[in-house]
Amino acid sequence: MVNLKFKSSHWIVDEHDNIILGKGRMEILENIEKTGSINQAAKMMNMSYKAAWSKIKATEKHLNTTIVHADRKEGSRLTVQGKELLEKFRLLKNECMAVDDELFNNIFK
């Protein structure tokens, strides 16, 4: 028999199914943490600066908080709220993946 595995994706959405945070936005935030630059984070993802910034701004609008502080001289960094959001999403994603794996193994193995 073929070795099977289960892949799933997780998003946080609002009541209208607007994406607040998912894998792509998590990656943008992680890349901003690494590089200190929205532009560099976008380039790492083969995305335009405008696309990355619009995703950040959409999340900020939905949450009514600033998650990225951008400064032309100092660069960009996650705010306390941005770091907290990213950490909570990582934790949630890891917990969901563990449950997904357990369910998959119970059903398919």
For the chain, the domain total comes to 1
In a domain, 38, yes or no: yes
In a domain, 7, yes or no: no
In a domain, 75, yes or no: yes
Cα→Cα distances 48→5, 56, 66, 74, Å: 33, 13, 21, 21
Q: Give the model's pLDDT for residue 1.
A: 63
Rounded-to-integer distance, Cα 59 and Cα 93, Å: 18
Domain extent at residue 60: 20-103
Q: How confident is the model at residue 63 (pLDDT cuts 50, 70, 90)?
A: very high
In a domain, 6, yes or no: no
Between 60 and 1, residue with greater pLDDT: 60
In a domain, 66, yes or no: yes
Supply the pTM of this predicted model.
0.88
| CATH assignment of the domain containing 45 | 1.10.10.10
Provide the β-strand partners of residue 71: 75
In a domain, 32, yes or no: yes
In a domain, 13, yes or no: no
Question: Is the confidence at residue 26, as pLDDT, over 70?
Answer: yes
Rounded-to-integer distance, Cα 36 and Cα 88, Å: 21
Rounded-to-integer distance, Cα 1 and Cα 15, Å: 42
How many angstroms from the chain centroid is the CA of residue 68? 13
Q: What is the DSSP letter of 22?
A: -
Q: What is the pLDDT of residues 31-48, one digit of tens each?
A: 999 999 999 999 999 999
Determine how many CB atoms are found less than 10 A away from the CB of residue 62.
16
In a domain, 11, yes or no: no
